[in-house]
Amino acid sequence: MDLGLKGKLAVVTGGSAGIGRAIAEGLAAEGADIVIAARDKTRAEDAALEIGKQFGVRTGGIAADVATAAGCDAVISAAADMGGTDILINNAGTGSNETIQEADDAKWQYYWDLHVMAAVRLARGLVPQMKQRGGGVVLHNASICAVQPLWYEPIYNTTKAALMMFSKTLANEVAGDSIRVNCVNPGLVQTGDWIKTAKQIAGEDGWEAHLQGVADEAGGLKRFASPEEMAHFFVFLCSNKASYSTGSTYFVDGGWLKTV
């Protein structure tokens, strides 16, 4: 099946590992050129080099902290240097751990900048490139926690909910420019961060059982998704096979969501 992605330029934030890396590889496998943005210069450049070598596409790796205006500007410039953006994957983000009573203003501001303002700033800079190229796709990687919050990460819950609303608002604004905007709310995905935390809690011998306990409690399919499983859905939404999909939020959570 031809997904119509060959020769498109995709920008993937947080693209050196985890879900972002899997999305970048999935798009590259369909012939898309890739810009990898990550805070660590070596990891970004290495990921870009490996993807380019494996899939035979143009790639670029850039060190950029998209929680800052300067980092977003660097991503926008890198995309322009490669001819302009067709696809933007706003993936950079991380969980939090606090209570509302204990978290200070600085922590709230950091997550707001990372999860919300990065998407705002990159839209301001990359949507004009998409318009010049005749259209494009913007996907936001939010979280099931945007609507089904976990008690120990109120900042993450709140900022991901804001990202979901921003996605809908942006979709309405650019629909007439042939730019589709959607949001994906993943559930449990077995990334390096989950494994690291599980090992800290349960040790080298108990981390897998710990994660299975988390999945059992979530219900549904009672397992974690792989980053590659999540990436398949993102790649489909980027493709011309999803040409009538915009302004929507999709839950890819193995049945964890408790509401309809």
Tell me the C-alpha distance between 139 and 129, whole Å.
16
pLDDT digit string, tens, across residues 112-146 = 999 999 999 999 999 999 999 999 999 999 999 99
Domain of 103 in residue numbering reads as 9-189+225-252
Domains identified in the chain, total number: 2
Give the tokens for residue 30. Answer: 């369909």
Q: Assess whether 156 carries a catalytic annotation.
A: yes
pLDDT digit string, tens, across residues 190-243 = 999 999 999 999 999 999 999 999 999 999 999 999 999 999 999 999 999 999
- Specify whether 41 is located in the same domain as 84: yes
- Specify whether 98 is located in the same domain as 185: yes
**Does 45 fall in a domain?**
yes
- Specify whether 60 is located in the same domain as 76: yes
- Specify whether 99 is located in the same domain as 88: yes
**Does 123 fall in a domain?**
yes
**Does 4 fall in a domain?**
no
pLDDT digit string, tens, across residues 147-171 = 999 999 999 999 999 999 999 999 9
**Does 1 fall in a domain?**
no
**Does 119 fall in a domain?**
yes
- Specify whether 114 is located in the same domain as 201: no
The pLDDT of residue 1 is above 90: no
- Specify whether 131 is located in the same domain as 198: no
**Does 180 fall in a domain?**
yes
**Does 120 fall in a domain?**
yes
Query: pTM here?
Result: 0.97
Q: How far does CA 129 lie from the centroid of its chain?
A: 20
Catalytic residue among 110, 111, 152, 156: 156
- Specify whether 92 is located in the same domain as 144: yes
- Specify whether 77 is located in the same domain as 197: no
Q: State residue 222's pLDDT score.
A: 98
- Specify whether 123 is located in the same domain as 152: yes
- Specify whether 135 is located in the same domain as 120: yes
Tell me the C-alpha distance between 168 and 174, whole Å.
10
In terms of Cβ atoms closer than 10 Å to its own Cβ (0-12, 13-18, 19+), residue 124 is exposed
Q: State residue 44's pLDDT score.
A: 98
